[in-house]
Amino acid sequence: MPSNSLIYLDAAATTPCADDVIKEMIKFNKSNYGNPSSTHILGRLARSAILESASHISELIGCTSAEIIFTSGATESNNIAILGSAPPDSNSNIIICPIDHKSSLLAAEELEKRNVEIRRMKVDSNGRVNLPHLHSLLDTNTSLLSISYVNSEIGTFQNLVEIKKALEKSNALFHIDAAQALGKLPINVKQLGVDCASISAHKIEGPKGIGALYVSSSCMSRLRPLTFGGGQSSLRSGTLPTQLIAGFGAAARRLKSKDYPASWAAAKQLRDAILETLNKHQISYVINSPDNVSTPHILNISLPAIRSETLISCLRNVCISSGSACNSNNLAPSYVITGIGHDAIRANSAIRFSFTSDMDIKTVRKGAESLSQTVLQLTQLNNRNK
């Protein structure tokens, strides 16, 4: 099926590259293709492009260019922050959120295998951290607290100000996975008081395969690198992919003048349009995304008696998901939905709509209409088979 006939409502998984991003990348694939570590003219041109991109990205999140470490994406960034924060067989402990992205959870599990204690925060029914419990987890041996700013499945955003207050008497590094927050919420890492932040280009209409880890200059020496080689940065070795970094820089540049309140309002209109369409067809659903503490760009609902994977496979022209794309091969119930207190039945019927705020509302309504018709057909089929 031609892609222009599809209705894409899975922007939390990835976004298409913007035209100006592609244009910028082509330049470094065809002509200025030098290795940025080389000292000749093509190498210097590539290096200059990388420095310019780092400047755009650092300006977007409120840090210096020297505090940007380029990685292959937020997954690698999370791994560097978590695995690099606590030496094996040490007395250190790290604190994580149990409904965060798998890249954080599995990196923590790997540390656990290396005899590092992992402490898991409790969350409430909205997916927000239980602050009194967090206080009880912290001690002088806590080396890192890691949490997603915006949850990738239900859109809940955390109160980073209060979490930072909990860390005031601790020497722990404060790491956020900001992959889902970038472009949805304004981010200034200095004002937020975070020491490390993971971001990805492909969530903001940039290319796949490139991301960054912000590390405060005062904390850089507290993390250990996971890869060794040419020493392109203090925490990561490897030839830098100039064309991808140039694309990331172009995507970041597009966001610097973004009107976040207007974007938020537009996303809320799209969210409401989906729910209005479902209501028009009297579709039974329950909302898993909390209305008051989640970004409107992500809407997670459960449809009773219809498994999410069955629905997704029956949709011919609408792209949605049943959770994070990184977990799509796992048929187990969503650990995020069960993690906020719901049962496996509700988790197995959960679907996620996600969209950029500039999507055409007529297209979104058309997608919700197509989904509603499919739900009605599946409901009739289920009733016949009873």
Distance CA 137, CA 260 (A): 34
What pLDDT is attached to residue 330?
59
CA nearest to 149, candidates 108, 194, 191, 106:
194
Answer whether 354's CB lies under 8 Å from 299's CB.
Answer: yes
Distance CA 223, CA 233 (A): 12
pLDDT tens-digit series, residues 166-200: 999 899 999 999 999 999 999 999 999 999 999 99
What's the one-letter identity of residue 235? L
What pLDDT is attached to residue 157?
98
pLDDT greater than 70 at residue 1:
no
**pTM of the model as a whole:** 0.94
Of the chain, the percentage scoring pLDDT greater than 90 comes to 84
Of the chain, the percentage scoring pLDDT greater than 70 comes to 96
In three-state form (DSSP H/G/I as H, E/B as E, the rest C), the secondary structure along 360-384 is CHHHHHHHHHHHHHHHHHHHHHHHH
pLDDT tens-digit series, residues 264-296: 999 999 999 999 999 999 999 999 999 899 999
* Helix, strand, or coil (residue 49): helix
What pLDDT is attached to residue 299?
98
* Start-end of H helices in the chain: 19-30, 41-61, 74-83, 102-113, 131-137, 160-166, 189-192, 242-255, 260-280, 308-314, 335-339, 344-348, 361-384
Residues with catalytic roles: 326
Q: Output the CA torsion sign for 296, 95, 232, 52.
A: positive
All structural domains of the chain: 5-13+258-383 (3.90.1150.10), 17-253 (3.40.640.10)
What pLDDT is attached to residue 3?
58
CA nearest to 96, candidates 139, 132, 148:
148
Answer whether 84's CB lies under 8 Å from 220's CB.
Answer: no
CA nearest to 353, candidates 339, 340, 370, 341:
370
Q: Indicate the helix (H) or strand (E) that contains 351.
A: strand 350-354
Q: 27-31, 238-242, 376-380: which has the minimum mean pLDDT?
A: 27-31
Four-point Cα dihedral 53, 55, 57, 62, nearest 10: 180
What pLDDT is attached to residue 232?
76
pLDDT greater than 70 at residue 28:
yes
pLDDT greater than 90 at residue 381:
no
What pLDDT is attached to residue 96?
98
pLDDT greater than 60 at residue 311:
yes
pLDDT greater than 80 at residue 327:
no
